[in-house]
Amino acid sequence: MELEDINTVAVLGAGNMGHGIAEVAAMAGYDVTMRDIKEEFVQNGYEQIEWSLNKLAEKDQLSQDEADAALERVTPLVDMAEAVADADVVIEAVPEQMEIKKDVYQELEEHANDEAIFATNTSSLSITELAEVTERPERFCGMHFFNPPVRMDLVEVITGAETAEETLETIEELAEDFGKTPVRVHKDSPGFIVNRILVPLMNEACWLVSEDEATIAEVDSTTKYGMGLPMGSFELGDQVGNDVSYHVLDYMHEVLGAAYEPAPLLEEKVENEELGKKTGKGFYDYE
Ligand code: CAA
């Protein structure tokens, strides 16, 4: 599959990342199907895309006509077969748990076009292990966007053990066509590059607060004003989603060892479903 053969992109998952990726693909002119398991999830994702496109139009980052046309290119669906039947590339952005993703790939493989490329937006999980569930490990790779996809430039393109060079090149070209900067990650290791560095930083911030060595306000002021990050560590955690950070850490803890143990404060946030901006409450309140 080459870039010029790609017309339709299916995005599995309409959450923060899924709807953001669908928006980016639609803005680049692709026909997009966005699939989730419940009607309310796809509708919510669709409304988020509409909000975001209108916001970008308000700020003259695209015209209102372009925003309307991009929204029209997105079809929200619940039915897997319908969502992937015509897709040339399927980008999967379902919850960051190995078993959930494997189940989705099994179902996807039954319905997808034989030539389609599967690209996973996993933040940390083994590309090789996910690819093994499918019958196309050579047409399977990581395509990792950052939150919020419409604003973040980087896409990590990660190779699995059996990914073909042609697949990686096509996905890199697709990322460029989406207006992003792809960076090839040659080793399929937990958290790849960005999350291997960034998520432990956010976790260390949680340990500082868990052990009463600093407050959230102190940590966020120092990360923002001293370390030059665009957001404080806790603000970023709320942006990414505390469940996402937790699952990434939990996996790195299991595979890489004790240094990645999630801090009690982070566990508590997940248990209380205080997941960040998406639930209206995380380390901060958003209601
Ligand atoms: N679409 C459209 N507009 C959006 C938006 C979206 N998805 N998200 C936010 N905005 C709007 C806001 O509503 C706000 O609008 P108003 O000005 O009208 O209030 C505006 O954008 C804020 O934009 P600014 O340019 O003023 O703000 P900013 O310069 O601070 O940029 C940011 C915002 C790009 C999110 C910036 O804060 C940033 O880069 N933060 C760090 C994000 C980051 O590091 N992400 C990666 C996390 S790691 C990850 O994602 C990987 C993983 O697997 C866990």
Token pair 């930083």 is found at 201
To the query of whether residue 195 is one of the catalytic residues in this protein, the response is yes
148 lines ligand 1 (CB under 6 A): yes
Residue 202 one-letter amino acid: M
Mention the CATH class of domain 195-279. Answer: mainly alpha
Say what the pLDDT of residue 225 is: 93
197 lines ligand 1 (CB under 6 A): no
Ligand 1, from 53, 55, 202: best to mutate by most atoms within 8 Å of Cβ?
A: 55
- Here the tokens at position 87 are 């897709």
The mean pLDDT value for 133-156 works out to 97
Whole-prediction pTM value?
0.96
To the query of whether residue 50 is one of the catalytic residues in this protein, the response is no
Residue 151 Cα, ligand 1 centroid: separation in angstroms? 6
Q: Which atom of ligand 1 is nearest to the CA of 20?
A: 7
Residue 287 clears pLDDT 90, i.e. is over it: no
Rounded CA-CA distance 143/17 in Å is: 12
The mean pLDDT value for 151-178 works out to 98
**pLDDT (tens digit, 9 = 90+) per residue, 7-66?**
999 999 999 999 999 999 999 999 999 999 999 999 999 999 999 999 999 999 999 999
**pLDDT (tens digit, 9 = 90+) per residue, 61-109?**
999 999 999 999 999 999 999 999 999 999 999 999 999 999 999 999 9
Dihedral sign, CA of 242, 244, 249, 251?
positive
**pLDDT (tens digit, 9 = 90+) per residue, 229-284?**
999 999 999 999 999 999 999 999 999 999 999 999 999 999 999 999 999 999 99
58 lines ligand 1 (CB under 6 A): no
* Range 3-185: architecture per CATH: 3-Layer(aba) Sandwich (3.40)
Residue 154 Cα, ligand 1 centroid: separation in angstroms? 14
Residue 146 clears pLDDT 90, i.e. is over it: yes
Active-site hit among 92, 156, 235, 274: 156
Characterize the bridge pairing of strands 140-144 and 154-158: antiparallel
121 lines ligand 1 (CB under 6 A): no
Say what the pLDDT of residue 228 is: 87
Rounded CA-CA distance 279/273 in Å is: 8
Active-site hit among 19, 121, 144, 245: 144
Nearest CA to ligand 1 atom 21: 55
Question: For the chain, what is the largest distance between any 2 Cα atoms, rounded to a whole number of angstroms?
Answer: 55
All structural domains of the chain with their residue ranges: 3-185, 195-279
Cα end-to-end distance, the chain, whole Å: 45
Phi, psi of 149, rounded to the nearest 5 degrees:
-55, -35
To the query of whether residue 123 is one of the catalytic residues in this protein, the response is yes
Please indicate whether the domains covering 3-185 and 195-279 agree at the CATH topology level. Answer: no
In the beta sheet, which residues pair with residue 143?
Answer: 157
- Here the tokens at position 144 are 């990792």
To the query of whether residue 7 is one of the catalytic residues in this protein, the response is no
**pLDDT (tens digit, 9 = 90+) per residue, 105-129?**
999 999 999 999 999 999 999 999 9
Token pair 């093994």 is found at 132
Rounded CA-CA distance 92/285 in Å is: 30
230 lines ligand 1 (CB under 6 A): yes
- Here the tokens at position 95 are 């919850």
Residue 93 Cα, ligand 1 centroid: separation in angstroms? 19
Give yes or no for a contact between 142 and 120, defined as CB atoms under 8 angstroms apart. yes
